[in-house]
Chain A
Amino acid sequence: MRLPQLLLLALGGALLAAEVRAGEDIEALAEVCRGCHGDENALPADPAYPIIAGQEFYYLYVQLKDFRSGLRENETMQEVVADLDRATLKAIAQYWSEKPWPKTAFTASEEEVQQAEQAIVSAECTACHLSAFEGNSRVPRLANQQPGYLEKTMLDLKYKRRRNSPNMMALFKDFSEESIRALARYLAAL
């Protein structure tokens, strides 16, 4: 992680530690998130970080809970949420779910689209993620998500580095890296 983010994190960590049990002043907490994840007007700081503005509330909440319990492993996120209580996690998730999704301009090649469409038929993705990949409730929106994050996540699921969704792990197990890459570009460009 780059230095500005580290600093922000340290600051934010301190801020969060102080505000922890109150669950108040969500704006201050959100500043910490913004540092890495951007917001409705700015993309995340790194291609591998997910957009969270406009993401489904319940999905965000479950991810934050899973980071806190270690079920989903990520050093940074674990530090961020370590001392936050349930109410605060809910409030953060609620806050971000109410923001509009930022404008994106990702593209995918014809070949990538074709490969992705085959994969989608095979895995029946739209059954849960719905026809426009907009997600709902416990199922995340994938449409216009950062391709770098999507690719990393699908690979993490495939290689069992991300363990908090057993079903997705099983699904990606025998997806080729190539089709994962194509899928990531396709979804980002929707």
Chain B
Amino acid sequence: MRTARNRMAAAAAGLSVVALLAFASPAAAQEVKKATVWGDLGFVTQDMLNRAAGDGNNFLHPQHNYAQTRYYPNSQINTSNVHKLRPAWIFQTEVNETMEVAPIVVNGVMYVTTAFNHVYALDAATGEEIWHYKHKMGPITTYCCGPNNRGVAVAGNRVFMGTLDAKLVALDAKTGKLLWETQIADPELGYSETMAPIVVEDKVIIGTNGGEYGIRGFVKAFKADSGELLWTFYTIPENSVGEWRETDPMGRSLNRDIQAEKAALEKLGDPYEHLGGGVWQTPAYDPETRRLYFVVGNPSPDLDGSIRPGDNLYTDSLVSIDVDTGEYVCHYQYIPHDVWDLDAVSPPIITTVKDENGQDVKGVLHGGKLPYVFVHRADDCSLIRYSEPMVPIENLWALPTPEGTRMLPGANGGVEWSAMAINPVLRYVFAANLHQPMTYHVESTPYPEGKLWLGGAFKVIPGEEQWGNVTAIDYDTGRIVWKVRTEQPMIGGLLATAGGLVFAGEGNGWFKAYDAASGAVLWQFQLGAGVNAPASSYAVGGKQYIVVAAGGNVQLNYKRGNDIVAFTLAD
């Protein structure tokens, strides 16, 4: 029989059980995470990858989504509250060297890479380390512009990374254990990887570095479960000569000596074998048409055109290929027979744009070293318009000379490899720019079997003013809407959000939030090392974060560091 005491005890027990349950539910939620609308914990489905543009919790691609808009669809952090943004956590990697990584986040797990190919999996809410993979680097690595890495691709329960010794590795997403690795190409000849790969269904797709070493560039597709090579698209066709186009997209003369080039072609034959044409950054993908869009880097050797006659296809071009077969669909070459290393590097963006008649069409945007934003039709790669120039142009297309010719933009010009971002509501594209005056020197040397081969040198002009911009351009008209100057040339990339913000970092350590509509600086934070990587965003437990790497940069010699820093709103 229940005494009063027992009843009270029972009641107390009952209460405490209830209390326990109440306090326990967060813990219980952690232990038993249910499958979300977007998929099981950790497992990245193709559906998730396809729908990433609408995903305001994860950050599944280096440019957020296949279209590469870098537009984050979460407005919890917005123009009215961003002034309350403060660090949530700091993770310090083992590698104190340049960082160019775009963090990937899958259901609260963040994946970042470092220079020299470490991968970390971190708890995105707390910054604590889950696992750490160190690539066993071979003795031969080749890179012109820093031992950096731009990040991983995720699909299924795997994480993929390209390495400086030209390998593609697949890791188990839960444990970081190596599942397979494959040699993409021979590093002794100048091939290596710094880009983040892309996964489409059963294929991991990756380009290559090496345009400074006389490679023959490509995009390759490997089987995601085994690393077996599926197809190769050479960015340099065997007939690389093209149509002998003598002008840039604006109609200005490139000062080519077609006679001399044709004579050289007679003598030397088609230069395709060592013509360069790396693909530096992740391709965009259109699941509707099943086409990849990417931009191709400079011809080899960078400055000396005398031994590579012809247009040098498809260097300095936007190219589209079929994802299933790797076959060519269309291209647009920005600079035929480039001798200034003004190659196409910044990752292209697929979005709806207005054509010449004001009609909406599927378009592709690219920001060049030639400092314009180019707007193309996606179906045939043709150019619709180009923007106003974003940084000064001087003495354009003056040919390099042995003593050195000053020309603007310098070879790190315009947008360089920095990722752009769009706000599709405003229909603006945002770009980080460089103004870094240089002289171009040419000196002809024969192919040096895998050594650095610039055909001359670029010299930064010491004592001359350098600076940068964050520029917003209306891509339906090409007009510059706003432009904010920065103290130093910018390199890294931008993130735009549905909160009406644009996040951009600078080499002096400042990480800033701009108002997307006006360019007003609404928030900034000093990170202590160059912020030369593009930011990502994600949400955990309903709280939005902005995360960025601060490790400096090799090309511009910004202060090195080893931090990943996540920010969130103060309570």
Q: List A residues at the B interface (Cβ < 8 Å).
A: 57-58, 62, 118, 120-124, 126-128, 130-131, 136-138, 164-167, 169-171, 173-174
The chain A residue with its CB closest to the CB of B554 is A127
Q: Which of B402, B460, B560 contacts A121 (CB 8 A)?
A: B460
Give which listed residue, B452, B459, B460, B462, contacts A167 with CB less than 8 A. B452
Give the one of B140, B459, B462, B560 with max A CB within 10 A: B459
| Residue contact B554 to A136, C-beta cutoff 8 Å | no
A130-B147, A137-B140 as given contacts; A122 in contact with B454, CB under 8 Å: no
Residues from chain A with a CB closer than 8 A to the CB of B9 are: none
Q: Which residue of A lies closest to B460 (CB)?
A: A122
Q: Which residue of A lies closest to B190 (CB)?
A: A138
| Interface pair A137/B142, CB less than 8 Å apart | yes
What B residues does A120 contact at CB under 8 A? 557
Interface membership of B404, Cβ < 8 A: yes
Is the CB–CB distance between A136 and B141 below 8 Å? Answer: yes
Give me 15 A-to-B residue pairs in the complex whose CB atoms sit less than 8 angstroms apart, sorted by A's number: A58-B139, A120-B557, A124-B460, A124-B555, A130-B147, A131-B552, A131-B560, A138-B142, A166-B451, A167-B448, A167-B453, A167-B454, A170-B441, A173-B443, A174-B403
Residue from A58, A124, A173 with most neighbouring chain B CB atoms (10 Å): A124
B130 sits at the interface (CB 8 A): no
Residues of B within 8 A of A170 (CB): 441, 443, 445, 454-457
Q: Is B570 an interface residue (CB 8 A)?
A: no
Chain A's closest residue to B147 (CB) is A136
Q: Is the CB of B458 within 8 A of A124?
A: yes
User: Does B21 touch A at the CB level, under 8 Å?
Assistant: no
In the complex, what distance in Å separates the CA atom of A120 from the CA atom of B554? 12
The minimal Cβ–Cβ distance linking B441 to chain A, given in whole angstroms, is 6
Contacting residue for B443 out of A164, A165, A166, CB 8 A: A166
- In angstroms, Cα B140 to Cα A166, docked, is 19
Q: Identify 12 new A-B residue pairs, CB closer than 8 A, beyond the known A122-B460, A170-B457.
A: A57-B139, A58-B139, A121-B462, A122-B459, A122-B461, A124-B458, A127-B144, A127-B145, A127-B554, A130-B97, A131-B552, A173-B457
Chain A residues lying within 8 Å of B557, measured Cβ to Cβ, are: 120-121, 124, 126-127, 131
B528 at the interface (CB under 8 A from A): no
Q: Is B156 an interface residue (CB 8 A)?
A: no
Interface residues of B (CB under 8 A from A): 97, 139-142, 144-147, 402-404, 441, 443, 445-446, 448, 451-463, 552, 554-555, 557, 560
Contact call A126/B141, Cβ cutoff below 8 A = no
Q: What is the minimal beta-carbon distance from A171 to any residue of chain B, in angstroms? A: 5
Main secondary structure of the interface of B (DSSP, over half): loop
Residue in chain B with minimal CB distance to A94: B139
Q: Would you call A138 and B457 a contact (CB within 8 A)? A: no
Distance of A124 Cα from B454 Cα, bound (Å) = 14
Given the complex, which residues of A lie within 8 Å of B461, measured CB to CB?
122
Chain B hits for A169, CB < 8 A: 443, 445
- How many angstroms from the CA of A122 to the CA of B438 in the assembled complex? 9
Q: CB distance B451 to A167 under 8 Å?
A: yes
Question: For A174, what are the chain B residues with a Cβ–Cβ distance below 8 Å?
Answer: 403-404, 441
Which of B97, B139, B402, B443 lies at the interface centre, i.e. has the most chain A CB atoms within 10 A of its CB? B139
A137 touches B139 (CB 8 A): yes
CA of A137 to CA of B141, assembled, Å: 6
CA distance A45 to B552 in the complex (A): 39
Closest 10 CB pairs of A and B: A166-B445, A167-B452, A137-B141, A170-B443, A170-B457, A171-B457, A118-B462, A122-B462, A122-B459, A58-B139
Looking at A62, A138, A169, which has the most chain B CB atoms within 10 Å of its CB? A138
- Residue of A58, A164, A166, A171 most packed against chain B (CB within 10 A): A166
Distance of A167 Cα from B214 Cα, bound (Å):
13
> Considering only CB atoms, which chain A residue lies closest to B165 in the complex?
A137
Docked complex Cα distance between A114 and B253 (Å) = 41
Chain A's closest residue to B456 (CB) is A170
Contacting residues, chain B, for A57 (C-beta < 8 A): 139
CA distance A128 to B403 in the complex (A): 23
Looking across the interface, which residue of chain B has its beta carbon closest to that of A120?
Answer: B557
Q: Tell me the nearest residue of chain A to B557, going by C-beta.
A: A126
Which A-chain residue is minimally distant from B466 (CB atoms)?
Answer: A121
Which chain B positions have C-beta within 8 A of A127? 144-146, 554-555, 557
Q: What's the Cα separation between A128 and B144 when bound, in Å? A: 6
CB A103 to nearest CB in B, in angstroms, measures: 23
CB-CB < 8 A to A126: which residues of B? 554, 557
Report Cα–Cα, A174/B440, bound state, in Å. Answer: 12
Given the contacts A166-B445, A174-B403, A174-B404, A138 and B554 also touching, CB distance less than 8 Å = no
Taking the closest CB of chain B, its distance from the CB of A30, in whole angstroms, is 19
Q: Is the CB of A165 within 8 A of B139?
A: no
The chain B residue with its CB closest to the CB of A93 is B139
Closest chain-A Cβ to B402's Cβ sits at a distance in Å of 8
- Measured in the bound complex, the distance between the Cα atoms of B441 and A171 in whole Å is 9
In the complex, chain B residues whose CB is within 8 Å of the CB of A58: 139-140
B192 CB, nearest partner CB in chain A, Å: 10
Most B Cβ at <10 Å: residue of A118, A120, A122:
A122
Chain B residues positioned under 8 Å from A173 (CB to CB): 402, 441, 443, 457
Please name all residues of chain B whose beta carbon is closer than 8 Å to the beta carbon of A130 when the two chains form the complex.
Answer: 97, 147, 554
Alpha-carbon gap, A16 to B403, bound state (A): 45
Q: For B144, list chain A residues within 8 Å (CB).
A: 127-128
**Chain A residue contacts of B458, Cβ below 8 A:** 124
